[in-house]
Structure 1
Amino acid sequence: MAKWDNMLSMIWMLRAGRKLTAAQIADSLEISVRTVYRYIDALCASGVPVVAESGHDGGIRILESFQEAPLFFNSVELKALVDAYKFAQGAGYPYTEELESALKKVENGLHEEQRDDLSRRTGGLDVISPARPPSVVPLLRDLEQAVNDGRTVRIDYRKANAEQADERDVDPYGLAYDRNEWYAVAFCHRSQAVRTFRVDRIARLEPTEARFEKPERFSASAYFRDQSARGREADGPLTVIRIEGEPDTLNAVCGHWHMRHYLTERTDREAWFLLDVPTMNKYLPMYLMTFGTAIRIREPLALKRRVQEMAAAIAQHYDIGTD
């Protein structure tokens, strides 16, 4: 068992209310008596009032004034907390300041050895933040509050390539972070349907007096999956699509807004998808051709032949001899 796990176990044992000898603790945790006393010193340095009394009726105990056991993390868990903060900051998480404050509280509870180890372990990872307008963070906070309160909000929203924003009332059901962008999934009163709104395209937001009931067990991520599924041409039959390529190229294929929902297995150089045949025939040949020779279709044979036919038709179209 790791050092900090053992120390936490010691606290739980001592909080049972009875005195224990160092030998009893050592036997229970399968460590040496000498290690038990080292752990006692470390706990006292961390603010845990552990008392070791000598004599016939002596033993080790925790003073009754101690109410809560401090949190103990191993080195990898501490690193994960710091790295998670970096990813949250890079994603534009609206409560980054609060997360940083919580992390500082954890770090303040560490002793010098832990802080030095944490600094060494977390120095090699950085998350590059995409450029976002400063208004996104307060918008995310206001939208989340509207989700929690069930309150309709009025927004000025500018669609892609639109010259100006238009006003609409929406009932925000949830937020989602997808492909480096934040989205609000909301019921739009104007279109009378659930829509997605990119948060950085919201020019203005204000709460209204209107209230709404969010659909039970609504999930923004499930909504995105459902929207992709609706783009399918048919319910079946399904076919396995196997594509080979360099890791970076496969990342692009697997990260496509539609294809990623049908990914079933992935290695560094191969990806497997499960998709209905009509959708495959309608969308994939042209899409996969954009990758040129950077990928290779391994199966199904029908998809390979369709891409060959399209490539041959394009080659014939640009045949210099026909000019």
Structure 2
Amino acid sequence: MKSSRLVSILLLLQTRGRMTAAQLAEELEVSVRTVYRDVEALGAAGVPLYGDAGHAGGYRLLDGYRTRLTGLTADEAEALFLAGVPGPAAQLGLGPVLAAAQLKVRAALPAELRAHADRISGRFHLDAPGWYTDAGADEVPYLPAVADAVWNNRILHIAYRRWREPTDVERRVEPYGLVLKAGRWYVVAAPGPRTFRVDQILGITVCDEVFTRPDGFDLAAHWAAYQRGFHEWLHQDRREAVVRLAPGVTLARATPLDGPAEDDDRTVVRVPIESVEHAHGAFLRLGADIEVLEPPELRERIARTVTELAARYGNPPVHGGD
């Protein structure tokens, strides 16, 4: 629609400065002739817009001119206020900035779009972490420092705790970007690049030395590739377990095994596992809906845990005091 295109031209010139008719036409996917007509319409409406001739010419707005129009559609306004980022923004030290930005955008919205935004934020809230994640359990005291280093291309020296021996190590890293995954922050950093959990950083020194970010590095694409590689690594040794599942219970990557049907409609499947340790915790969460048949060491370990739990909960609790 022409009205939407006029707003787009106005916002493009406001944010980018001088642009040629050809550049505007390419951005808006219209003809140069259409841009000429739209520019004339803006001028007739009183917008202080003028054009410079010549090779370095183009259209621009009068210095200091700003518009309160946002160009947002109802759907775009709703999506903006649906973003569930107050918690992560606060962790990054940007909570007040986000609140101020949303307030300014809301004030600039026409009354109808403002009502849409208020309604969507009052009816939907996004909360990424799982139910059993303690909001204060994973402290990330060094997150603002890491974020600042990411933004300013500063080299970091970190003390880091990893899951294998030696657990506590020191690393010199070049932080490329931060990722929030399921309520947990990760920093992608060279050399490698490798991925570090920010809540596992024990100490940090921000260096005066800066690094050069690789041209073309795409954080989202890197993270997607990292996740694919991680899932492949989980099952690279092809360790498997054979389990019996209650009706309606499913497991990812499970393969049903042929055999006589169970009397209670339970199914027997073969499923890849990362390790006995990992499968022990994962299968226990399913309670009586799963029975491990193989490997023997996993079945025995779960049996010991269940026996200990039965002994603990089979006796009345003992309280201290008189």
Structure-1-length-normalised TM-score: 0.50
Q: Distance in 2 between matches of 1:230 and 1:205?
A: 32
Judged with a 3 Å threshold, the aligned counterparts in structure 2 of structure 1 residues 170 and 244 are, in CA distance, closer, same or farther, namely farther
Deviation at 1:153, TM superposition (A): 1.4
Q: Distance in 2 between matches of 1:111 and 1:199?
A: 42
- 1:154 is matched with which residue: 144, 154, 157? 157
Other-structure match for 1:36? none
Q: Distance in 2 between matches of 1:244 and 1:103?
A: 48
Deviation at 1:122, TM superposition (A): 1.6
Residue pair 2:140, 2:198 contacting (<8 A) in 1 also: no
Other-structure match for 2:46? 63
Matched, 1:91 2:74: no
Matched, 1:290 2:287: no
SS of the equivalent of 1:71 reads coil
Instruction: Give a deviation string over 1:33-79, Cα, whole Å, max 9, x none.
Output: xxxxxxxxxxxxxxxx89xxxxxxxxxx4224254873332333212
Q: Distance in 1 between matches of 2:144 and 2:274?
A: 44
Deviation at 1:7, TM superposition (A): 4.3
1:272-287 → structure 2 map (5 Å cutoff): 279-280=272-273, 286=280
Deviation at 1:206, TM superposition (A): 1.2
1:98-109 → structure 2 map (5 Å cutoff): 98-109=97-108
Residue pair 1:89, 1:96 contacting (<8 A) in 2 also: yes
Q: Distance in 2 between matches of 1:11 and 1:171?
A: 41
Other-structure match for 1:123? 122
Q: Distance in 2 between matches of 1:197 and 1:315?
A: 33
Other-structure match for 2:141? 135
Judged with a 3 Å threshold, the aligned counterparts in structure 2 of structure 1 residues 111 and 166 are, in CA distance, closer, same or farther, namely same
Q: Distance in 1 between matches of 2:274 and 2:117?
A: 52
Deviation at 1:81, TM superposition (A): 0.3
SS of the equivalent of 2:145 reads helix
SS of the equivalent of 2:225 reads helix
Q: Distance in 1 between matches of 2:187 and 2:38?
A: 49
Other-structure match for 1:8? 4
Count of equivalent residues: 233
Paired letter, 1:8: S
Other-structure match for 2:181? 178
Residue pair 1:176, 1:182 contacting (<8 A) in 2 also: yes
Matched, 1:209 2:209: yes
Deviation at 1:196, TM superposition (A): 2.0
Deviation at 1:182, TM superposition (A): 0.8
Paired letter, 2:148: D
RMSD (Å), alpha carbons: 5.3
**Residue ranges of structure 1 left out of the alignment (5+ in a row):** 20-48, 51-60, 237-241, 254-258, 264-276, 298-303, 319-323
Paired letter, 1:168: R
- 2:150 is matched with which residue: 133, 144, 155? 144
Q: Distance in 2 between matches of 1:314 and 1:98?
A: 49
Instruction: Give a deviation string over 1:64-115, Cα, whole Å, max 9, x none.
Output: 425487333233321210121xx22223463444444433332222233432
Most deviating of 136-145 and 194-203 = 194-203
Q: Distance in 1 between matches of 2:40 and 2:119?
A: 40
Q: Distance in 1 between matches of 2:168 and 2:287?
A: 42
SS of the equivalent of 2:147 reads helix
